[in-house]
């Protein structure tokens, strides 16, 4: 499932999805190609079936993060001055 569909199915915003992925309380994304990620439908179904108790099997972004960072992932602020 692509992000827009996941947002519709879960009612969560993009930023909330990525915050929850980082916390391990939302299924990890899978890399579909350069700059594209998605989610397994079965993982989203499991999340929706157990909202209060859901814990990601790998504990966060490990599967999706290839070292380049992900949209919505925390990046340190750059201070210019």
pLDDT digits (tens, 9 = 90+) for 20-41: 999 999 999 999 998 899 999 9
- Asked, for residue 41, whether it belongs to a domain, the answer is yes
Task: Assess contact for 14 and 5: CB atoms under 8 A.
Answer: no
In a domain? residue 72: no
Q: Which domain holds residue 16?
A: 3-49
Higher pLDDT, 23 or 77: 23
DSSP state, 13?
-
User: 45 lies in a domain?
Assistant: yes
Residue 43 resides in a domain: yes
Confirm whether 71 is domain-assigned: no
Residue 66 falls inside a structural domain: no
On the question of pLDDT at 72 being above 90, the answer is no
What total number of domains does the chain contain?
1
Tokens of 16: 């909330």
Banded pLDDT at 51 (limits 50, 70, 90): confident
Residue 58 has pLDDT above 90, yes or no: no
Nearest Cα neighbor of 46 from 10, 5, 2, 8 is 10
pTM of this structure: 0.67
Q: Which range is least confidently modeled, 13-17, 25-29, 70-74?
A: 70-74
Distance CA 57, CA 74 (A): 21
């Amino acid at each position: 499932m692509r992000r827009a569909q996941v947002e519709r199915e879960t009612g969560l915003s993009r930023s909330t999805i990525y915050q929850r992925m980082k916390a391990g309380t939302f299924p990890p994304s899978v890399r579909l190609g350069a700059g594209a990620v998605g989610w397994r439908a079965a993982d989203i179904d499991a999340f929706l079936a157990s909202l209060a108790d859901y814990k990601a099997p790998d504990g966060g972004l490990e599967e999706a993060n290839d070292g380049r960072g992900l949209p919505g992932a925390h990046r340190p602020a750059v201070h210019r001055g």
